[in-house]
Amino acid sequence: MTSLTLADILAARKRIAGIATLDTPLPPSPCLSAIAGDDVLLKLEIGQATGAFKLRGAANAVLSLPESTKGVTCCSTGNHGRAVAYAARARGFRAVICMSSLVPEAKLAGIRALGAEARIIGKSQDEAQVESRHLAEEEGFHEISPFDDLHVIAGQGTIGLELLEQRPDLETVLIPLSGGGLAGGIAFALKTIKPSIRVVGITMEHGAAMHASLAAGKPVAVTEMASLADSLGGGIGLENRHSFALCRDFLDEVILVSEEEIYRAMQMHYHEDRLVCEGASAVGAAALLSGRLGRHPGPTATLITGRNVDMQVFTDIVSGRAVQLGDTTLKGHIHAA
Ligand SMILES: *Cc1c(COP(=O)(O)O)cnc(C)c1O
């Protein structure tokens, strides 16, 4: 059993109020509502100062550290690194962010602009993780896991409190899933307050480590692949302590979506909702558009987790042009209302 409590999440909400934006909007999506046959609402985390929800968890972790902290480090697919850099700057701590070469340039620039040191190591999150662990051991930096840290998980869980305050009648919540800190924290809060709610993790079909681990009954490694949902890449750690058990115990199911479905969902969010969001944010819409979630899920919220998308890729997608993903080419597709 996890030691996470609702009190931890309530404490996180108080602690992060000065740094993260709380009570982010939850507007309806008329297009997705028509497809689902019930209200579909968008939880807009793209308004965070760093462009993604990860500021909630990172702020809670950094603000919980003693003043004597030498520095902080983490490995990241980009958004956690930017959030740690932002929170560290607010406290005057040094920050070193370790990333793989799969991280898009836009995310790298965002981190460096905050005054943090960004190190690119290898081609996978796991290699970046080794470097941040090394820094922690050699230089006495405090390492903040992007998903397997109770302060981070409690920070992300604050979104769950807000969802039920904003719409107590919610019946389904769609959560983009990678390491599971977001889904674990939110699902724990939602199920503790409203046990009847359906909580669905959504992720890309290739290289989804949490999905493979849940199927295997224990953390397993997967090969990382290029994805439009680049923020959902990376393993969950074979020594996972918290997020695996939370996802296993509190998620009702996990739905996988294809790259084509993510492409169409990003296009739809732009043309119909007027949203600039990254691929990881669009997986909930992809599950609805593809029919994988099914119709009539009841009042539903999907998390728009971040907006830190490479602008060239984004303009290609919303213009219906083909996109190169690693060795494969995603065919163009024109959005039709
Ligand atoms: C990190 C991230 C996720 C997934 O969060 P996990 O806690 O790793 O499951 C989803 N969307 C965006 C934009 C992210 O940066």
pLDDT in tens, 227-252: 999 999 989 999 999 999 999 999 99
Strand 300-304 and strand 172-176: the pairing is: parallel
Of 324, 296, 300, 298, nearest to 310 by C-alpha is 324
Ligand 1 centroid distance, CA of 95 (Å): 20
Alpha carbon distances (Å) from 81 to 13, 100, 147, 220 = 21, 12, 12, 24
Taking CA atoms, 229 is separated from 103, 122, 325, in Å, by: 11, 19, 11
Q: Is the CB of 76 inside a 6 Å radius of any atom of ligand 1?
A: no
Q: Whose CA is nearest to atom 14 of ligand 1?
A: 231
Using a 6 Å cutoff on CB, does residue 79 contact ligand 1? yes
Q: Is the distance from the beta carbon of residue 149 to the nearest atom of ligand 1 less than 6 Å?
A: no
Closest ligand 1 atom to 243 CA: 7
How many CB atoms sit inside 10 A of residue 85's CB? Answer: 29
End-to-end Cα, the chain, rounded Å: 47
Cα 278 to ligand 1 centroid, rounded to whole Å = 11
What is the side-by-side order of every strand in the sheet holding 71-75? 117-120, 94-99, 71-75, 142-143
Q: Residue 234's pLDDT is what?
A: 87
The ligand 1 atom at the shortest distance from the C-alpha of residue 52 is: 13
Amino acid at 327: D
Tokens 């890449």 belong to 233
Q: Is 52 in the pocket of ligand 1 (CB under 6 A)?
A: yes
Q: Is the CB of 177 under 6 A from ligand 1?
A: yes
Q: Is 185 in contact with 156 (CB distance < 8 Å)?
A: yes
Whole-angstrom CA distances from 204 to 69, 129, 174, 244, 323 are: 37, 22, 14, 17, 17
Q: Does pLDDT of 333 surpass 60?
A: yes
Cα 175 to averaged position of ligand 1 atoms, centre (Å): 9
Element housing 313 (H / E): helix 311-318
Question: What is the mean predicted confidence (pLDDT) over 41-48?
Answer: 98
Q: Please, what is the average pLDDT of the chain?
A: 95
> Does the C-beta of 302 come closer than 6 Å to ligand 1?
no
Residues 305 and 182: their CA atoms lie apart, in Å, by: 10
* pLDDT tens-digit series, residues 247-294: 999 999 999 999 999 999 999 999 999 999 999 999 999 999 999 999
| pLDDT of 106 over the 90 cut | no
Query: Does residue 227 have its Cβ closer than 6 Å to ligand 1?
Result: no
Within 8 A by CB and 6+ apart from 128, the residues are 75, 76, 98, 99, 100, 119, 121, 122
Atom 2 of ligand 1 has which residue's CA nearest to it? 231
Decide if 311 contacts 105 (C-beta within 8 A): no
Taking the centre of ligand 1 as the mean of its atom positions, its distance from the CA of residue 284, in whole angstroms, is 13
Predicted confidence (pLDDT) at residue 337 exceeds the cutoff of 80: no
pLDDT given at position 1? 53
